[in-house]
Amino acid sequence: MKDFTPLIRWFQISSSEFRKYVMPYKKIIPKNLFHEIICYHLDPSYEVSINILPPRISQKFGILDSLLIQRKHVAIISSWIDKQEINYYDRKRIPYSFKLLYRASRDGFEAKNFHQLCDNKGPTVTIAKVRSHGKLIGGYNPLDWKPQSNLSYLSGDSCWYSTFDSFLFSFTLKSSSNDNSIPKIARIGNSGNISEYAIGYNANYGPSFGGGWDLSIQENNLIYSYGPYSYPDCGSFIAKNQHPKLEDYEVFQIIKK
């Protein structure tokens, strides 16, 4: 068995197949390997500590074009989109495609470039990497990025759109490894009219969320947060009145498979 163990793509076996066809042979599988497989299936954010053979056909699940996230992040974000807070999607059964629309390091940090590539593209996810500590911070917009309309709330050069389906999130560095895997989410609050300011739009800014702004990427590639307003829980991962520099950020169009 030991000669064949390294040749098997254990982590490409689905949970149901593992239960049916692998569990009966538990006694002959190395204990550390068995433990890693169990952890992998129980926790989508778990970082496997042993070498993994790549899938024989990587195109089967689609190619993720990203410098910032992996399929485990996509599985968690997709689960949040469908309001699954605990039981995350299996990485091999993600119901959405993440199509890269914009990468700041490639397309330029200027707001006009973001709007040219991302406006009127339907639901999107923004992922930003903070330069100083590597934390990933982002947000999901279930609407279009678009200028003011009769559905928006206008104030000066900015307008806002109402939705209860958007959210902000972060993946924080684990203390024991360089792995952006500890997930946090902040959904729209339910007090007063704060949901009316869920999604912000300003032609001079990049992606913007909340009436605070709770999260806004602006020309000088900083995350601006003036404190939680529309997303009360975002204060646990976005520091108020601190504007850390970004290493990069990406915007993905979310397409239902």
The reported pLDDT for the residue numbered 31 is 84
The reported pLDDT for the residue numbered 59 is 40
In the three-class reduction of DSSP (H, G, I as helix; E, B as strand; rest coil), residue 8 is classed as coil
- What's the DSSP call for residue 89? P
Rounded to whole angstroms, the Cα distance separating 123 from 256 reads 10
Rounded to whole angstroms, the Cα distance separating 196 from 14 reads 41
The reported pLDDT for the residue numbered 56 is 47
Rounded to whole angstroms, the Cα distance separating 189 from 171 reads 21
Three-state SS string across 183-240, please? EEEEECCCCCCHHHHCEEECCCEEEEECCCCCEEEECCCEEECCCCCCCHHHHHCCCC
> Residue 17 corresponds to which tokens in the numbers above?
């197949």
Peptide bond into 213 cis (omega under 30): yes
Nearest to 48 by CA among 56, 60, 40: 40
> Residue 211 corresponds to which tokens in the numbers above?
């009436």
Q: Find out whether 130 and 246 touch, Cβ atoms under 8 Å.
A: yes
Domain boundaries, the chain: 1-56, 71-256
Per-residue pLDDT of the chain (257 residues; tens, 9 = 90+): 566 666 676 776 777 777 888 888 888 888 888 888 888 777 655 666 666 555 544 444 567 999 999 999 999 999 999 999 888 998 888 999 999 999 999 999 999 999 999 999 999 999 999 988 889 999 999 999 998 777 667 777 889 999 999 999 999 866 544 555 689 999 998 877 888 999 999 999 999 999 878 999 997 788 888 888 999 999 888 888 778 899 999 999 999 99
- What's the DSSP call for residue 245? B
- 155 — phi, psi (to 5°)? -150, 110
The reported pLDDT for the residue numbered 122 is 97
Global confidence as pTM: 0.75
The reported pLDDT for the residue numbered 144 is 96
